[in-house]
Amino acid sequence: MTPSNPKNHIFDQRSRAILTALFFPVIALLFNSSVFSVALPAIRDHFKIAPDIVAWLAIAFSMPFMVMMPLYGRLGDQLGRSRLLVLGIVILGIGTALIFIADTLFWVFIGRIIQGIGSSGVTPLCLAIIASRFPEEERGRALGIWNATAPATSIFAPSIGGFLVDSLGWRFIFPPIFIVCVITIVVVRWQIPSLKDRPNLQILRQFDWGGVFLLNGLVLFLVLYISSRPVTGVEPFRDWRLLLGFLLFLTAFYYWERAQDDPLVNLNLLKNQNFTFASLASGFRMGMMAGPSFLFPLYLADLYQFNAAEIGFFATFHSIVLFILIRIGGNMADTHSRRNLTIIGLFGQLMAMIYFVLFPDNPNTAFLYVGLAVHGASAGLNIISLHRKALDSIDSTQSGAAAGIYSMTRFGGSMIATTLIGVVLQWGQEAEFSVARTYQSAFLLLVVFGVLGLLSSFALQKNQK
């Protein structure tokens, strides 16, 4: 019998420990998102706010969450990825505590912004750590195990959130989030080795802070242009000042980044066909994920008058299906065509959105389970294939920067979809549509995201897995 190589054994053990430690930032992120989604109808009713302002509760988190991803990705390559993970979770905990004690809607918004800033490093930093730590032949399985943490967390988090909202009120979803943040900080500091390295602080002087400013500006003006009424009082898509601001920031950002030796967003990465179209497809995929995460809790509260616990039960069902298929999809991404897995998954999500559009006005809840099952299974099947397709052709020295751009594009789709959903719901309310027709219009919007995602997936190269 050939003895095992001790060095390889140590490497395997250490890799497993690191992968386990990476579960905890995801748990903190998803626990926060899941319980907040369940509490959203209660928060809306407490503050008596319109649908487009409800969307801004999600946008206040998702905007900094999205635009800060390239910053975390780029700085992680120089300052230590696990060090920034800890910093981000600390910031998430601060925002969580602020919302808990907030006595006005304004401070809830501020807390959500701080939460978004802290959470934004989780996905790009964890992806970069896995990409640099695991060899290509094991990466799909590692990503599948890591990604399964998200729906696994969402299996129990909505039920906890629903119980707390119904028993104690929406404010009491936040102490458990804070406790999870503290546990995450301890585990990451204990298990991830790069915390022991001295950071290269010189990079902070040379960093592309101009790119950070311009990126934040263009995203802010875009979102304000889409949903301008709560901020400027002008109807959506009609405040041309905001459109002009977006175009100016976009142009300035493009030329600024092209002129930098070490830009925040390396535009040369977009020359990689798989990276570019996998990022786009992932963005549209996440746009459709705004259906179960943002739209569905409001849909169940308004059409069925469900309480938070009942809404949490539906979220749990979706997460169970997603959890099972992510594990299967992760293993298949190592052995099957990632392009085909992506196409099949996006097609299934598109069919689920069409299914919700075609609902009768008062559907039986059994119909909801069918649609959620199809959506969850399809979304779980394609997520790892998209991760692999985007990042496998990128050099490991640029994995942090690439993961930042990919994650920004991915969650940008969710943010834009949520913004548009808020506009559509407000429009339906003002037009005095029935509740069912208003929500069907919102699902129709997500059908457009599905079509665009499917078209992006067909542009992925066929000659590679």
- In three state form, how does the secondary structure of the chain look? CCCCCHHHHHHHHHHHHHHHHHHHHHHHHHHHHHHHHHHHHHHHHHHCCCHHHHHHHHHHHHHHHHHCHHHHHHHHHHHCHHHHHHHHHHHHHHHHHHHHHCCCHHHHHHHHHHHHHHHCCHHHHHHHHHHHHCCHHHHHHHHHHHHCHHHHHHHHHHHHHHHHHHHCCHHHHHHHHHHHHHHHHHHHHHHCHHHHCCCCCCHHHHCCHHHHHHHHHHHHHHHHHHCCHHHHCCCCCCCHHHHHHHHHHHHHHHHHHHHCCCCCCCHHHHHCHHHHHHHHHHHHHHHHHHHHHHHHHHHHHHHHCCCHHHHHHHHHHHHHHHHHHHHHHHHHHHHCCHHHHHHHHHHHHHHHHHHHHCCCCCCCHHHHHHHHHHHHHHHHHHHHHHHHHHHCCCCHHHHHHHHHHHHHHHHHHHHHHHHHHHHHHHHHHHCCCCHHHHHHHHHHHHHHHHHHHHHHHHCCCCCCC
Q: What values do phi and psi take at 318, rounded to 5? A: -60, -40
Structure tokens at 285: 């995929």
**Do 363 and 450 share a domain, yes or no?**
yes
Q: What is the pLDDT of residue 3?
A: 41
Q: Tens digit of pLDDT per residue, the chain (465 long)?
A: 334 444 443 346 777 788 888 889 999 998 999 899 999 999 999 999 988 899 999 999 999 988 888 888 778 777 777 888 999 999 999 999 999 999 899 999 999 999 999 999 888 888 888 877 777 777 777 877 887 787 778 888 999 999 999 999 999 999 999 999 999 999 988 877 654 456 666 777 778 899 989 999 999 999 999 999 988 889 999 999 999 999 999 999 999 999 998 888 888 888 889 999 999 999 999 999 988 889 999 999 998 899 999 999 898 898 889 888 887 887 787 788 889 999 999 999 999 999 999 877 766 788 889 999 999 999 988 888 888 888 887 876 677 678 778 888 988 899 999 999 999 999 998 998 988 899 999 999 999 999 999 999 999 987 656
Examine residue 463 and state whether it is found in any structural domain, yes or no. no
Examine residue 393 and state whether it is found in any structural domain, yes or no. yes
**Residue span of the structural domain in which 215 resides:** 208-263
**Do 79 and 133 share a domain, yes or no?**
yes
**Do 110 and 196 share a domain, yes or no?**
yes
**Do 180 and 219 share a domain, yes or no?**
no
Examine residue 4 and state whether it is found in any structural domain, yes or no. no
**Do 142 and 214 share a domain, yes or no?**
no
Examine residue 10 and state whether it is found in any structural domain, yes or no. no
Q: Of 238, 263, 288, which marks where a domain is finished?
A: 263
**Do 341 and 437 share a domain, yes or no?**
yes
Examine residue 92 and state whether it is found in any structural domain, yes or no. yes
d(CA 391, CA 147): 15
d(CA 158, CA 342): 28
Q: Of 248, 263, 278, which marks where a domain is finished?
A: 263
d(CA 161, CA 39): 7
Exposure on the CB side of residue 92, measured as CA atoms within 13 A: 35
Whether the CB-CB separation of 95 and 118 falls below 8 Å is answered with yes
**Do 354 and 238 share a domain, yes or no?**
no
For 233: left if phi > 0, alpha if psi spans -120 to 50, otherwise beta; the answer is left
Q: What is the pLDDT of residue 363?
A: 67
**Do 243 and 305 share a domain, yes or no?**
no
Q: What is the pLDDT of residue 424?
A: 95
Examine residue 464 and state whether it is found in any structural domain, yes or no. no
**Do 313 and 437 share a domain, yes or no?**
yes
Q: What is the pLDDT of residue 405?
A: 84
Q: What is the pLDDT of residue 397?
A: 67
Q: Of 263, 284, 307, which marks where a domain is finished?
A: 263
Q: What is the pLDDT of residue 121?
A: 87
Give me the sign of the Cα torsion angle 102, 106, 108, 114. Answer: negative
Q: What values do phi and psi take at 79, rounded to 5? A: -100, -10
Integer angstrom CA distances of residue 91 from 21, 123, 194: 19, 15, 20
Instruction: Look at the chain and report how many structural domains it folds into.
Output: 2
**Do 331 and 440 share a domain, yes or no?**
yes
CATH number at residue 73: 1.20.1250.20
| CA angle centred on 426, ends 407 and 419, rounded to 5° | 10
**Do 173 and 301 share a domain, yes or no?**
yes
**Do 258 and 272 share a domain, yes or no?**
no
Structure tokens at 401: 């920067």
Examine residue 13 and state whether it is found in any structural domain, yes or no. no
Examine residue 41 and state whether it is found in any structural domain, yes or no. yes
